[in-house]
Amino acid sequence: MTPQQAADVVGEASQLVEQWVQAHGHGRRALTSLVLRSLKQAYYDHRNIGHAGLQSPRYCHFTSPIRRYPDLICHRALLSAIAGDMPAPEASFVVAAGPLTSSREREAMAIERDADDLALCFLLERSMLELGWDAVFEGEVTGLIGAGAFIAFGPDLVFEGMLPVRRIRGDWWELGEEGTMLLGAHTGATIRLGDPVKVRVARVDAPRGRVDLLPGWEED
């Protein structure tokens, strides 16, 4: 598949997601994430291999406002070529810097996500003291594993927690082959990515950034 073909497929998938969300009123977060996860993650390389997302055959990473280290490498090479008053980065250094900076970027993103989870857990804990632990929240399924479902809930779906399958009474739940739904072995009921659900907060472990949930629909 060429970059253009891949971009066309992603564009069509995004349109289908938008149509689904407009028709059903839910699922944007989970389905958009599913499309993005299907793409190969970007990485830094010393070769000119273009930019698939921008559909550009030539791309240089030096205009980023977040000023990662690869920007500085490009800055120094450009200053050397234009002004000539400083040495350009050695080729062997640039070759080695690609994989290193790519891995550091992923590590930084993981730290950022962990920090967000911690901060949101402390915020949720404070909110629960005001709302009471019996409060029921509207939510949406954003991820699925064999052990349960990840649910985004609260105002603008800002919080996220785990609803274990052992907490969902009345059936034995198994993860589908494609990982997009939990299937009830006895009833045939399903819990799919993007489904709207009601949940209650069972426990907030703020230092670990973890939220355990209970099904809220059993309270109806």
Question: What does the block give as tokens for 184?
Answer: 């009830």
The Cα 168–Cα 190 span in angstroms is 12
Whole-prediction pTM value?
Answer: 0.75
Q: pLDDT tens across 1-42, in order?
A: 676 777 788 888 888 888 888 888 888 888 888 887 777 777
Residue 80 has pLDDT above 80, yes or no: yes
In this predicted model, which residue has the larger pLDDT, 211 or 52? 211
- Structural domains of the chain ordered from first start: 3-109 (no CATH), 133-219 (2.40.50.140)
- Residue 220's pLDDT band (cuts 50, 70, 90): very low
Q: pLDDT at position 128, please? A: 93
